[in-house]
Structure 1
Amino acid sequence: MNTAGQAGKRVAVIGGGWAGCAAAVELAAAGCSVTLFEATRTLGGRARAIEVRGRMLDNGQHILLGAYTGTFRLLRRVGIEPKTALLNLPLQMRYPNLSGGMDFVAPRLPAPWHLVVALLRAKGLGLADKMALARFSSSARWMGWQLNVDCSVAELLERFDQTARLVQLMWRPLCLAALNTPPEYASARVFLAVLRDSLGAGRAASDMLLPRLDLHALFPGAASRFIEQHGGAVRCGAKVTTLLREGGSWRIDATGKAVGGNSSALFDAVVLAVAPPAALTLLDGLPLGDIPARLAAFDYEPITTCYLQYAAAMQLGRPFYALPDDPAIGHWGQFVFDRGQLDGGQAGLCSVVVSASSAAAALDQAVLAQAIAAQLAALFGRPELASPAWSQVITEKRATFACTPGLQRVPTASGLPGLVLAGDYTESDYPATLEAAVRSGAAAATETIAPGAAKPTRSSAA
C-alpha cells in the first residue's frame, strides 16, 4: 500500500464490524487520521462477543481456514499471534460414533496426498461414496474450481452424480457451514471457491482453525487499541445520521454519548462499512448508479448458536464434531464445539451451531435448547448431556446474506470521490466470512489511499 502523503488525511470509518476494523487499522498504519464510528456499544458487528451470565460468549462459532491469509496478516498487525490464538486442526469431517455418520480426516502430508490418504482411510463411506468424492474433486480441479454459468449447489452435485449419503454427510454440512445457505439455492460458483481453498488447496491452506479467544479479543478489541495507539479515535455508541458531500470533503453528523450528544465534522474520505440496510439509509440521494439497487437486493439468513453448560469435568472426545441434523425428530444441531478444549476458562461448555436457522429460531428458546441437548445425548450415547446446568440460545437474525446463484455484489469504489464501501457483501469470490470482511476492509483502505488500486477481494490460496 502506498502510504506517501497520507499523514493527517482525515478518514471516517462508519461501522465497527470486522470490515470496518480492518479498514481502520490499515488506514491508521498508513498514517491517516482515523475516526471509527460504531452505533452499538461494542465492536465486532455480526461477529462479536456478548456478556452472558457474567462471561463473554460469541454470538456465533467460527471455523477459519489456513487459506485465510488476510485475516492472519491483520491479526499479526494488531498484536495477535494466530499460532496461539487459534487451535490448528487438519481438514476433517468427523461425526460422533453413534450418529451413523462418517470419519474423514486429512493427515499431515503434502498435498494432494493428504486427501488421497484421507479418502482411503475414511470410515462410514462406501466404495460408491469414495469414488463419487474422488470424481468430484478431480473434475472440479480440472475445471479450475470455476463455473462459467452459476447454478445451485444441489444442481452441481447432481451433475457430478454425488451419492445421497455423501451429499448428506459431506456436501450439505459444508455448504451450510461455509455459505449459510441451503444447497437447494446456494451459489455453486462461491461453493467451489471455498472448496478450492479446502479440499483443493495445499495441506496447510486446508487446515481448520478454531478461535481460542472470544471474538472481541481475537480482533476488534486489539484493533481498537491499535487505532488509538496510532493517533486515531474509536467512537462506540456513536450513530452516524447524515453523510453529505460538501465541497471537497464529506460531512458526517453523529449522535450518542460517545460524541457528546451530537456532533458534525468534515473528513477527506469515508469508508462506509455497515450492513446493506443501514448503508442504503446513509447513501439515500447520492448519485451511485446501480449500487443502491444491489444493496436492496440482498436477502439474509440467520445463524443460531446454542450454548450448553455442563460440569467442568465434562469433555467430548474432540474439540468439535459434525452432527447429522434432522428437524423432523428435533435434531437441529449441525456442529458441536467443546469450548473447554479451546479455552480453559470455559470448561464444560458446548456450543452447538445451526446455520440457515429460520425454522429453529422460530422455536421457543428453552424448547430448542432442550432438543439440542437431547440430540447430543443420543448421538454421543451420554445421557448426562440431556441435562445441562444452564443453556443460552443466541440467534443472529441477519448473520449473512443469502449466497444465491448469480448474486450481484457491491463494488468497493462507489464512484464518488472519497467514498468507499466495505463489508463481506462487496465483490469477492468468498461467501460472507471473516476473511471476506477483512479483505474487503483492506481493499477499502487501499482504494481510499490510492483510488483505482483496489481490486475485488479474490483469494490467493488456490
Structure 2
Amino acid sequence: MSVAKQPLKVAVVGGGWAGCAAGVELASKGARVTLFEAARMLGGRARAVQAKEALLDNGQHIMLGAYAETLALLRRVGVAERDALLRLPLQMRYPPGSGLMDFVAPRLPAPLHMLAALLRATGLEREDKLALARFSTSARWMKWGLDTDCSVAELLARFDQTPRLTRLMWRPLCLAALNTAIERASANVFLAVLRDSLGARRKDSDMLLPRVLLDALFPEAARRYIEERGGRVACGARVDTIARLDGGWQVGACLGAAGFDAVVLATPAWQSAALVRPLAGLEALGARLDAFDYEPISTVYLQYAPGLRLPLPFCALLDDPARGAWGQFVFDRGQLGPGQDRGQDGLLAVVISAALDAAKLAQDELARLVAVQLAAAFRQPALAEPRWSRVLTEKRATFACTPGLDRPGNATGLDGLFLAGDYTAGDYPATLEMAVRSGAAAARLALGAR
C-alpha cells in the first residue's frame, strides 16, 4: 500500500511583492505555504497606508507592457488588467504650453511608433532629435548592453547626447526608473529599461498606471489565492530568527512554526542580512546584503476640490531644487480610474525620486513648494492652495543602482534557504517586475528543495 506524498511545506518571510509572488508560485504547484509579514498588511514598500486624511499609496508606480511576469501573475490571481491598470502609449510630456518636450508614441507597429513619435515631438530641436535617433540606433547595435558598465552620465557623453535632451528626457527617465542620479546610475541597468521601452514592441513599450490602490492591485488577491489552496498568511508576525532543525527549518522561535522543508526570505536586504548572518557558512552573504546603499523616494499628495483635472493623467515636471522646484512627475489620481469611487477625485500625487535632499525639508514646507511649482507649471494659480497635503517618504525605497553592483542570486548555498527581492541578481532595477521575477525564481528553487 503506497503512502500519499505530503505536500512541500514552505515558509515565505516577507509579504511584499516578491514574497507574495513566491507564495502564489508555490501554492500553484501544490506546496503548503505559510507567509509571514511583520506589518499589519501586505505589500511591503508598494502598499496603501492609512493617512489622517485618506487611504493613500506609499508611492506612485508606473509599469511597462513588457512586465510579462507581473501581468501573468495578476491574471493568475484573478486581477483583470482593464480594471486594475490604465494603459497609455510610451510618452514623455511636460505641461501643455510650457514649450518643453512633448513626446508620444502613436499606436503603430514597432519601430515605426518610435520614428513617428520622434518626428512629431515638440520642444526638441533638430540636434536633439538626431542625438536621440543616434543613441537608439547605437544601443540596438550594442544589443542594449555594455561589456564594461559605467555611469549613465558617461554613457550619454559617449554618444554625444545634447544638454537639452539629457535635461528633459534622459535624466528624469533615469531617476524614475533607477531612483539614482545619472552621475551614479548603472548604464547597463538603464539600457535594460530602455530596451523594454524605447526598443520594445509597441505594446510592450506601453506605460501601465495602477487604477486601484496598490494593496488591491496584487497583495490582497495573492492572499486569497494562497489561502484558497490551503496556505496561511500571517500579518503582524515578525520573524527574528530562522534555524535548521531535524533536517528542516524552524522559522521564529515563538511562532510555533517548525518543520518547514524550505524557507524563502523575501524581506529587504538589510533584514535578510540579520537573519542569515547567524547561520554557519553565510557570514559572507550577510556582509554582501549589508553592503547595499539606499535611495529615498518622496510622494507629495495634494488634495483639491472634486472635479479638478490636469490636462493629462500624468506629466513630467522640470525640477530645479536650487529654486525650490522639487517635483519630477505629477499624477492626477482622479483620471487613473473611477476617482469618486476611490475617494481620490481632485487628488494629485507628485513624485520626487532620489529624494535625500528633499526629505530634509519640513513636510509642510516641501508640500508648499511643490504646490507653488504646480501652479507655475500649469499656469493655474489655484494649484498653489490645496485643501490638504501629505508627504510620504520611503527612506530606503530602492537600492542605489550603481555600476557593477554586486547583487546576490536566489540560492544562498544552504539547502532549502533562498532569497527573493528586487535587489537580487537581474538586469532590472528595483521595480515591481524585478520583485515578481525574483519571487517566482526563488519559489521554483524551493519546489526542488525536498
Calculate the TM-score normalised by the size of structure 1: 0.94
* Deviates further, 383-392 or 244-253: 244-253
In structure 1, distance between residues paired with 2:125 and 2:119: 11
SS in 1 for 2:259: strand
Residue 342 of structure 1, aligned match among 327, 336, 340: 336
Does the 8 A contact of 2:177 with 2:429 survive in 1?
A: yes
Deviations 1:42-98 (A, max 9, x none): 111111101123532100000000000110011111110112210000000000134
Q: Which amino acid aligns with 1:303?
A: I
Does the 8 A contact of 2:20 with 2:223 survive in 1?
A: yes
Q: Partner of 2:435 in structure 1?
A: 437
SS in 1 for 2:36: strand
**In the TM superposition, what are the counterparts of 1:322-361 in structure 2 within 5 Å?**
322-343=316-337, 344=339, 345=342, 346-361=344-359
Residue 396 of structure 1, aligned match among 385, 394, 397: 394
In structure 2, distance between residues paired with 1:165 and 1:39: 46
How far off is 1:288 after superposition?
A: 2.6
Does the 8 A contact of 2:96 with 2:311 survive in 1?
A: no
Aligned identity (percent) is: 65
How far off is 1:348 after superposition?
A: 0.3
SS in 2 for 1:370: helix
User: Is 1:268–2:266 an aligned residue pair?
Assistant: no
How far off is 1:450 after superposition?
A: 2.7
Does the 8 A contact of 1:23 with 1:441 survive in 2?
A: yes
How far off is 1:298 after superposition?
A: 0.3
| 368 and 6 in structure 1: CA distance in 2 versus 1, 3 angstrom threshold | farther
| 35 and 117 in structure 1: CA distance in 2 versus 1, 3 angstrom threshold | same
Q: Partner of 1:291 in structure 2?
A: 285
Q: Partner of 1:319 in structure 2?
A: 313
In structure 2, distance between residues paired with 1:6 and 1:133: 59
In structure 1, distance between residues paired with 2:304 and 2:249: 52
Q: Which amino acid aligns with 1:281?
A: A
Q: Partner of 1:259 in structure 2?
A: none
Does the 8 A contact of 2:274 with 2:286 survive in 1?
A: no
**In the TM superposition, what are the counterparts of 1:24-63 in structure 2 within 5 Å?**
24-53=23-52, 55-63=54-62
Q: Partner of 1:15 in structure 2?
A: 14
In structure 1, distance between residues paired with 2:256 and 2:363: 40
Q: Partner of 1:160 in structure 2?
A: 159
Q: Which amino acid aligns with 2:291?
A: A
Q: RMSD of the alignment, in Å?
A: 1.4
Does the 8 A contact of 2:10 with 2:34 survive in 1?
A: yes
**In the TM superposition, what are the counterparts of 1:140-151 in structure 2 within 5 Å?**
140-151=139-150
**In the TM superposition, what are the counterparts of 1:102-251 in structure 2 within 5 Å?**
102-251=101-250
Q: Partner of 2:91 in structure 1?
A: 92
SS in 2 for 1:353: strand
Does the 8 A contact of 2:374 with 2:383 survive in 1?
A: yes
Does the 8 A contact of 2:276 with 2:283 survive in 1?
A: no
How far off is 1:284 after superposition?
A: 1.6
How far off is 1:289 after superposition?
A: 6.5
Q: Partner of 1:456 in structure 2?
A: none
Q: Which amino acid aligns with 1:174?
A: L
Does the 8 A contact of 2:89 with 2:205 survive in 1?
A: yes
Q: Which amino acid aligns with 1:226?
A: Y
Q: Partner of 2:304 in structure 1?
A: 310
**In the TM superposition, what are the counterparts of 1:439-454 in structure 2 within 5 Å?**
439-450=437-448
In structure 1, distance between residues paired with 2:438 and 2:36: 18
User: Is 1:281–2:274 an aligned residue pair?
Assistant: yes
Does the 8 A contact of 1:6 with 1:30 survive in 2?
A: no
Does the 8 A contact of 1:376 with 1:386 survive in 2?
A: yes
Does the 8 A contact of 1:250 with 1:268 survive in 2?
A: yes
Q: Partner of 1:426 in structure 2?
A: 424
Ranges in structure 2 where 5+ consecutive residues have no aligned partner: none
How far off is 1:276 after superposition?
A: 1.1
How far off is 1:263 after superposition?
A: 3.0
In structure 2, distance between residues paired with 1:108 and 1:289: 52
Q: Which amino acid aligns with 2:271?
A: A
SS in 2 for 1:245: strand
Instruction: Give the total of aligned pairs.
Output: 442
How far off is 1:264 after superposition?
A: 4.2
Q: Which amino acid aligns with 2:434?
A: A
Does the 8 A contact of 1:269 with 1:418 survive in 2?
A: yes
In structure 2, distance between residues paired with 1:303 and 1:16: 20
SS in 1 for 2:398: strand
In structure 1, distance between residues paired with 2:60 and 2:43: 13
Does the 8 A contact of 1:6 with 1:31 survive in 2?
A: no
In structure 2, distance between residues paired with 1:232 and 1:417: 22
Q: Which amino acid aligns with 1:196?
A: R
Q: Which amino acid aligns with 1:424?
A: D
Q: Partner of 1:405 in structure 2?
A: 403
Q: Partner of 1:458 in structure 2?
A: none
Calculate the TM-score normalised by the size of structure 2: 0.96
Does the 8 A contact of 2:14 with 2:35 survive in 1?
A: yes
Q: Which amino acid aligns with 1:429?
A: D
Deviations 1:167-190 (A, max 9, x none): 000000000000000000000000
SS in 1 for 2:183: helix
* Deviates further, 81-90 or 102-111: 81-90
